Structure 1
Amino acid sequence: MTVSFGLIGCGFISKRHVKAIAGCSGASLAAVSDLKEDRMTEAIADYKQAAGQDKEVTAYTDYTEMLLNEDIDVIVITVISSLHAKMAMEALNANKHVILEKPMALSIKEADSIIDLSQKKQKQVMVCHQLRFLPLLSKMKEVIDAGQIGTPYYAIASIRINRSKEYYESAPWRGTWKHDGGMLLNQGIHLIDLMQWFLGNAKSVTGEILHKNLSKETEDAAIGIVTFDNGAKGVIEANVISQPSNIGYALSVFGEKGTLSVEGPSLSRVSRWHAEGSELDIQELEAFSKSFDEQLAMYKNLIESLNDPDAEPLISGSEGKKALEIIFGLYESALNEKPVHLPMNDFSTLSMLKEKRD
């Protein structure tokens, strides 16, 4: 069975999705939608070149017309963050499965609505936390779950990158709480997703944020302490003001009997691997991870779940909400200056505008 995809949003991030669909033997791009016709033309050309075939791909300037196309099985949403939930709900109501770029929503209620509707419609939602598919990080998860570092005690997620004033000024929605969400939602969410994937469900968050760049609304730096159900602690330290350029990303897990630590742009470099009974060729695994296409693996995982009625994708809507809720907890803690217990009843990034009103 070939799964037919429709893509909403033909900007920069969509290129990885187009390439993955073209490279997946069980997938076909049927349609694209964008307000700019030149971007649709480019996306279609990229797909045809990558797929090696001159297959017809329909272009829609109105994505709601694409949702009426009964030949499309899955809608891929790669637009600005504030439209993610709205478009996901519309796609689900049109009886489509959904691949949804992070963050899945800008409020708890929106995330819950997506999850509830996907269950009601019996349609899959895949949230794009594709780093889970990297061989090195999959192995890290396997080693932790097997107890090879003993009881996990502590983890650190470090994001030290640079986003210039020009970056935010290049698009008016960037750096706004209403349309973009915060720095953690955009640049930090992948590492926070991995941290909770490794350590389990979180039960409370305490956080603080720093905001100095007055040309935008969102935070420049954030610090959080997460307590997990198993008693482990997690530290989040993130900023977009590292000068003059990115320092990078790092994720470390410290356990009773071992330490696992990875770093690099895609977390594909090992800085420490000490785990009981974990004998592996680190250099070989690093090289494999660097050449591995995690985006393609994500698409294959979704297709497998569509072909198996008892399966769901690795990063379902419920899974995608977990990192989102930790970040929202950190933001609310920063606003109210007290710990936040999870799960949260509600939170929206619009709540962060309260800081300005106060």
Structure 2
Amino acid sequence: MIRYGIVGCGHIAKKHVAAIAAVEGAELAAVCDTNEERLKEFAVGDVRGYTDLSEMLKSDIDVVNICTPSGLHADLTVQAAEAKKHVIVEKPMALTLEDADRMIDACERNGVKMAVVHPNRFRPAVVQLRKQLENGAFGKLGHANATVRWNRNQAYYDQAPWRGTKAMDGGVLMNQAIHNMDLLLWMMGDIEEVSSYHATRVRDIEAEDTSVSIIRFKNGALGVLEAAVTIYPRNLEESLSIFGEKGTAIIGGPTANWIKQWKFEGLEEDEAQAVIEQVEKDPYGIPGHQCIIQDMTDAIREDRTPVVSGEEGRKALSFVIACIESAETGKPVRMAELNRK
């Protein structure tokens, strides 16, 4: 049995609790939060509650799931790694590349595994898209587009004083679009350069609520990223589009769970429709957090690297940071130069 402990008993922790309960061979053994009232909701039955992480780390848990505000992720990951515990950390893994590197180094030095929560990789439509790319069905890639047109109203940001701050939270890129940025990287490969604009147009927050970026990938393909949390009155769409010399694929809907276009050279219409209908039968599939827990459980037993490793999480973070730096300086940012800093 792989025993899990959760740090941070806020909204996202509930998904971790459900995911652990759904995975055979995994169990929730402990929870930690400085707020004793919140802790009571999670520390039930055989689940032990702690207000001090140092005390929880003395217990016989195997994995620490970090579900705190983003600005706390780095120090808590290092603390868990030093205690020889594996780590699952919510996105973004950190708010700076220096912190991300510190986390990766701590896990490597202590021989523990780290996974970053990017659950959208496990959506059925995304899995089908990845298969087509691996099979070379697109041929030469031309360009890609990722769109996040969502609503996060002022009440969302007013829930806690850290929301929307640069030091502890971040804006639309760090909080919402980072999942789509992870998918762009996973599908299109590494980035050469980004050029971005962002603004805080509607929400009363420190970070950006709207952002647009132009991307040049190392393979020569181009990309466009549009992200906003200002859409009235509710979430409108989330989409991922890939275009190549022999294929066109668009995944969309209010969340990117449905195949909207599926055209490939040599693929008959009935074959394409069969894929679309297969996804439509169960567009959400196994919950992404459950897939992350299952993967970590298997990775420990098989002594392998988790699918969404610390290095993978760092790539998405560096993409976000490059866009923010470009917007703030008014200049394109080359990824090689960013990663040398």
**Aligned-residue offset at 1:298:** 1.5
Equivalent residue, structure 2, for 1:351: none
Q: Which runs of 5+ in 2 are unaligned?
A: none
Q: Which amino acid aligns with 2:144?
A: A
Deviations 1:17-56 (A, max 9, x none): 00011111110111001122232222244xxxxxxxx5x1
Equivalent residue, structure 2, for 1:303: 297
Q: Which amino acid aligns with 1:198?
A: M
Equivalent residue, structure 2, for 1:352: none
Q: Aligned to 2:175, what secondary structure does the other structure show?
A: helix
CA distance in 2, matches of 1:14, 1:276: 44
1:321 aligns with 2:314: yes
Equivalent residue, structure 2, for 1:57: 47
Deviations 1:81-111 (A, max 9, x none): 1001110111111111000000000101001
**In the alignment, which of 277, 280, 299 is matched to residue 286 of structure 1?**
280
**Aligned-residue offset at 1:291:** 4.0
CA spacing shift, 1:68–1:220, aligned 2, 3 Å:
same
CA distance in 1, matches of 2:144, 2:30: 42
**Aligned-residue offset at 1:346:** 7.0
Q: Which runs of 5+ in 1 are unaligned?
A: 46-53, 348-358
Q: Aligned to 2:14, what secondary structure does the other structure show?
A: helix
Of all paired residues, the percent bearing the same amino acid is 39
**Aligned-residue offset at 1:289:** 3.1
CA distance in 1, matches of 2:296, 2:263: 33
The 8 Å contact of residues 74 and 100 in structure 2, kept in 1 or not, is answered as yes
**TM-score between the two structures when normalised by the length of structure 2:** 0.94
Deviations 1:312-347 (A, max 9, x none): 111000001111111100111111111111132478
Equivalent residue, structure 2, for 1:42: 41
The 8 Å contact of residues 131 and 266 in structure 1, kept in 2 or not, is answered as no
Alignment of 1:186-335 (within 5 A): 186-213=175-202, 215-277=204-266, 279=271, 280-309=274-303, 311-335=304-328
Q: Which amino acid aligns with 1:151?
A: K
Q: Which amino acid aligns with 1:308?
A: E
Alignment of 1:103-122 (within 5 A): 103-122=92-111
The 8 Å contact of residues 109 and 346 in structure 1, kept in 2 or not, is answered as no
**In the alignment, which of 172, 176, 185 is matched to residue 183 of structure 1?**
172
1:166 aligns with 2:138: no
CA distance in 2, matches of 1:181, 1:189: 11
**TM-score between the two structures when normalised by the length of structure 1:** 0.90
Q: Aligned to 1:254, what secondary structure does the other structure show?
A: strand
RMSD: 1.5
The 8 Å contact of residues 258 and 279 in structure 2, kept in 1 or not, is answered as no
The 8 Å contact of residues 149 and 255 in structure 1, kept in 2 or not, is answered as yes
Q: Aligned to 2:11, what secondary structure does the other structure show?
A: coil
Q: Which amino acid aligns with 1:189?
A: I
Q: Aligned to 1:281, what secondary structure does the other structure show?
A: helix
**Aligned-residue offset at 1:212:** 2.5
Deviations 1:127-162 (A, max 9, x none): 000111122211111101211111111111101111
CA spacing shift, 1:121–1:260, aligned 2, 3 Å:
same
Q: Which amino acid aligns with 1:297?
A: C
Q: Aligned to 2:283, what secondary structure does the other structure show?
A: helix
Equivalent residue, structure 2, for 1:156: 145
Q: Aligned to 1:13, what secondary structure does the other structure show?
A: helix
Equivalent residue, structure 1, for 2:91: 102
